[in-house]
Structure 1
Amino acid sequence: MQEKELITRIKNVQLKAKYLVTDVLVGEYKSSFHGQGMEFSEVREYIPGDDIRAIDWNVTARMDFPFIKKFSEERELTMFILVDLSSSQEFGSSEYLKHEIATELSAVLSYLALNNNDKVGLILFTDKIEKFIPAKKGKTNIWKIVREILSFKPENKSTNISVALEFLLNITKKKAIVFLISDFIAKDYDKSLKMVSKKHDLTTIKIVDPNENKLPEVGIVILEDSETGELIEIDTYDKKSMEAYQELKNQENIKFQKFIKSNKIDYLEINTSKPYIKDLVKFFKVKEKR
Structure 2
Amino acid sequence: MPTARRTPDGFVYASLAELMALEPRARGLSFVARQPLSSILSGNHASRLRGRGLSFDELRHYVPGDDLRHLDWRASLRYGKPFVRTFSEERDRPTLLLVDQRMSMFFGSQRYFKSVTAAQLAAVCAWMALQAGDRVGAMVLGEAGVEHLRPLRSRARVQALCAAVVRANHRLSAHGEALADDGRLDALLRTCIGAAGHDHLVCVISDFAGVGEQTLALLRQLRQHNDVIALQVYDPIALQLPDKGRLTVTQGAVQVAMDIGRSQVRRPLGDYLAGRLSEVAELLRRSQVPLLMISTGDDSLEQLRKELGRLAERAR
Q: Using structure 1 for the length normalisation, give the TM-score.
A: 0.75
Q: CA RMSD in A?
A: 3.8
Deviations 1:95-116 (A, max 9, x none): 3322222222111111111122
Change (3 A) 1:108 1:218: closer
Deviations 1:256-280 (A, max 9, x none): 2222223322101111222243443
Distance in 1 (alpha carbons) for counterparts of 2:72 and 2:261:
76
Query: Which residue does 1:109 correspond to in 2?
Result: 125
Number of residue pairs matched?
Answer: 269
Deviation, structure 1 residue 72: 4.9
Query: Which residue does 2:79 correspond to in 1?
Result: none
What SS does the corresponding residue of 1:113 show, helix, strand or coil? helix
Distance in 1 (alpha carbons) for counterparts of 2:31 and 2:207:
28
CA contact (8 A) 2:73 2:83 kept: no
CA contact (8 A) 2:136 2:152 kept: yes
CA contact (8 A) 2:102 2:141 kept: yes
Which letter does structure 2 place at the counterpart of 1:14?
M
Query: Which residue does 2:26 correspond to in 1?
Result: 21
What SS does the corresponding residue of 1:125 show, helix, strand or coil? strand
Deviation, structure 1 residue 80: 0.9
Change (3 A) 1:172 1:187: closer
Matched, 1:195 2:200: no
Q: Decide which structure has greater helix share.
A: 1
Change (3 A) 1:232 1:174: same
Distance in 2 (alpha carbons) for counterparts of 1:261 and 1:47:
41
Query: Which residue does 1:259 correspond to in 2?
Result: 283
Distance in 2 (alpha carbons) for counterparts of 1:172 and 1:27:
18
Q: 2:69 aligns with which of 37, 43, 46?
A: 46
Which letter does structure 2 place at the counterpart of 1:256?
V
Distance in 2 (alpha carbons) for counterparts of 1:148 and 1:51:
54
Distance in 1 (alpha carbons) for counterparts of 2:269 and 2:102:
22
Change (3 A) 1:281 1:240: same
Q: Using structure 2 for the length normalisation, give the TM-score.
A: 0.69
Change (3 A) 1:127 1:190: farther
Matched, 1:88 2:93: no
Query: Which residue does 2:294 correspond to in 1?
Result: 270
Change (3 A) 1:68 1:237: closer
Distance in 2 (alpha carbons) for counterparts of 1:39 and 1:103:
37
CA contact (8 A) 1:204 1:266 kept: yes
Matched, 1:238 2:262: yes
Distance in 1 (alpha carbons) for counterparts of 2:147 and 2:30:
28
Query: Which residue does 1:12 correspond to in 2?
Result: 18
Which letter does structure 2 place at the counterpart of 1:12?
E
Which letter does structure 1 place at the counterpart of 2:273?
K
Deviation, structure 1 residue 45: 3.4
Change (3 A) 1:225 1:269: farther
CA contact (8 A) 2:126 2:158 kept: yes
Distance in 1 (alpha carbons) for counterparts of 2:225 and 2:264:
45
Distance in 1 (alpha carbons) for counterparts of 2:84 and 2:296:
52
Distance in 1 (alpha carbons) for counterparts of 2:245 and 2:306:
40
What SS does the corresponding residue of 2:236 show, helix, strand or coil? coil
Matched, 1:163 2:187: yes
Change (3 A) 1:245 1:283: closer
- Percent of aligned positions with the same letter in both sequences? 17
